[in-house]
Amino acid sequence: MQHCIFSIVSSLLLPVVLIAVLASVMGIKAEAILMPLFGLLGVALKLAFDLLALVVRILAGVVVAFIARVLNVR
């Protein structure tokens, strides 16, 4: 399991480190590239978490409606 976590983290960080190294070799400050990149990552994560929250709300509503229907049968 630790190998899997290390592999996932390293595969996500390798492109970021590669971009920073290439930018510094070309004479560009790495912050000029990494700040918008992480801003875009933040927007993508916010959209993903908002979508996850919406799906959880929908599923919770369906479960509550099902439980109410089951408990209302007399």
Rounded CA separation 16/9 (Å): 11
Rounded CA separation 48/57 (Å): 14
The token pair that represents 32 in the structure block: 């000029």
Give 55's pLDDT tier (boundaries 50, 70, 90). Answer: very high
Q: Which residues of 11-44 are buried (b: 16+ CB within 10 A; e: fewer)?
A: eeeeeeeeebeebeeeeeeeeebbeeeeeeeeee
**pLDDT at 1 (0 to 100):** 63
- DSSP-assigned letter for residue 27: T
Judged against a pLDDT cut of 90, whether residue 4 lies above it is answered with: no
Judged against a pLDDT cut of 70, whether residue 62 lies above it is answered with: yes
Judged against a pLDDT cut of 90, whether residue 40 lies above it is answered with: no
Domain residue spans of the chain: 2-72
Judged against a pLDDT cut of 80, whether residue 23 lies above it is answered with: yes
